[in-house]
Amino acid sequence: MDSENPSAPASTQSRIPGRNHPHARPLSGVVHDHARHTENFTVIGNHLAQHAELSLLAIGLGCYIQSVRPGTAVDIKTLAARFPEGPTRIAAALRELEEHGYLRRTRERTPTGRIVTHTVSCNRPGHRSAPAGPAVRPARRPAPDKPPPRKRLPAVPQPAYTSPDVLRTAVDVLGGLRRRDPRLLLSAVDAEHLAPGVAAWLEREVTPAAVRHALTENLPEPLARPAALLAHRLAAQLPPLPPFRPPASSAPAPRHPFQTCDGCDRPFRAPEPGPCRDCRATLEEAV
């Protein structure tokens, strides 16, 4: 009588169609019927074909651009004539590809003055192959560094009344400072900023010569910012206003009424009747 062997392997289970067989057809979704390409094909990365952010039009346009031969025109006008989407949608799709690194577009001017656009298709964004031979383009010169921002000049006093003649005199004073010291050669912008400060000195009855002396006396060494020094001196050494003097009376002399001389009947102006000046002198001599 046979006895059972508990360590014996269990009987092989049959495969369930659709689950265990490696070539079984899936229950849903796409089924691929592939044939191996040996010519006239392009390798497209799934990072483009299945891109999560690109539109379907951008993905298709990217695949088309990667499939064409070098030198093929891929500008908006040519693509709009090739596909039915129109130039607006084509331009938007090209911008998508450019933003995600699948295209690089640069505009350059030819020796004849014509503006052309160079388009580079990237099948793997971020990777740049080093070109060799005559196809190497000369590297563009880096943009020159911008000059540091110009420091603002200190504020200067402002005159109580702005007069064109006073401002003109102030500019003349500033323009003459370079004759005393060549380092005080000012730009037109600096002179325009400093002129109201000089005018404030002039309206305090300070002569132009006195202003020049105050601005040019004991200049420091070295003199790095002459305009800033002048602005500081105009504000720090501003003299006080002159004492108030009431304006001179300009009222006209009173006009007396006409009187008739008691001695010669000649009319003359006087506050009261009586003799005229000649008759009064004769009477004084007689006495």
Question: Distance between CA atoms of 68 and 48, rounded to whole angstroms?
Answer: 16
Cβ 120 vs Cβ 104: under 8 Å:
yes
* Type of residue at 127: H
pTM of the model: 0.39
Domains and CATH numbers, the chain: 46-125 (1.10.10.10), 164-236 (no CATH)
Q: Which residue has the tokens 């849903």?
A: 28
**CA–CA gap between residue 158 and residue 90 (Å, rounded):** 61
What pLDDT tens digit does each residue of the chain (287 aa) get? 444 455 555 555 544 444 455 556 777 888 888 888 888 888 888 999 999 999 999 999 999 999 999 989 888 889 999 999 988 999 899 999 989 989 888 888 877 878 788 888 888 887 766 554 454 555 566 666 666 677 889 999 999 887 888 899 999 999 999 999 999 999 999 999 999 999 999 999 899 999 999 999 999 988 889 999 999 999 999 999 888 777 666 667 777 787 787 777 777 788 888 888 877 777 776 65
Q: Are 167 and 195 in contact (CB under 8 A)?
A: yes
* φ and ψ of 85, to 5 deg: -75, -25
Phi then psi for residue 101, to 5 deg, are 90, 5
